[in-house]
Amino acid sequence: MAQMLCELLRDALKDLIAHARSNPGRLNFATSGTGSAPHLAAVLFLRVAGVDMVHVPYKGGAPAVQSVLAGDTQLAFATPPSVLPLVQAGRLRALAITSRDATPLIAGVPGMAEAGLPGYEISFWYGFFVPAGTPGDVIQRLFAATQQVLNLPDTAKALAREGTEISASRSPGDFGAFLAQDAKLWARLVKESGAKAE
């Protein structure tokens, strides 16, 4: 059953892309606002899929998702907490998650590669930051404490309810390297989106 659902959803994303290509500018997509992470995820989708859709920004994830339920927009780019309960209740249909591969946290929903868009991948993450100049030994103790908490089964369960997987950095240095690389993607997407600071 899960495999059949994945095949249907994989075809659904391909069908959406084909429809959007045949009808440029005719589909509306909702996000939680101009310059938000879901908006930038959509900008990447438009570029990689080669489609033209109209962005309808809302003031938050809940109103954006409600616009899809009301039929005011045809689709939304949203974070797991704003859509998971509605997907699980059968009120929204998840076409794919924005990471390359599927996750066991959202059974039956393919990642972008399986759904037919292998060049697309964007993930949202959480980080732990301290003021610049914090001594290295303090950073190491905080990192060790964070790792200890992330390894607790209750932590994984709590985050899974929100659609979040645990994927910790190997060290503070690795996290810094990740940030430097990830910032390049987000900077490019902000530029492509045309979003301006207000």
Do 189 and 108 have their domain in common? no
| pLDDT given at position 198 | 61
User: What does the alpha-carbon distance between residue 87 and residue 92 come to, in Å, rounded to a whole number?
Assistant: 5
Q: Which of 88, 122, 156 lies at the terminal end of a domain, its last residue?
A: 122
Residue 2 CA neighbour count, 13 Å, CB half: 8
Q: Mean pLDDT for each consecutive 10-residue tract of the chain (198 residues)?
A: 40 90 95 93 95 96 94 92 88 91 86 92 88 96 95 90 85 94 89 75
Residues 8 and 59 in one domain: yes
pLDDT of residue 124: 80
Range of the domain at 150: 125-198
Helix (H) or strand (E) holding 4: helix 2-22
What is the reported pLDDT for 1? 30
Q: pTM higher than 0.85, yes or no?
A: no
- Tally of CB atoms within 10 A around 37: 18
CA–CA separation, 179 and 191 (whole Å):
18
The Cα 41–Cα 185 span in angstroms is 10
**Co-location of 90 and 155 in the same domain:** no
Residues 32 and 18 in one domain: yes
Q: Quickly tell me which residue has 């101009």 as its tokens.
A: 34
Give the per-residue pLDDT at 149. Answer: 94
User: Which pLDDT belongs to residue 5?
Assistant: 37
Residues 117 and 158 both lie in one domain:
no
Among 122, 140, 163, the domain boundary falls at 122
- Predicted local confidence at residue 193, as pLDDT: 84
Tell which of 89, 122, 155 closes a domain.
122
Q: Are 167 and 129 found together in one domain?
A: yes
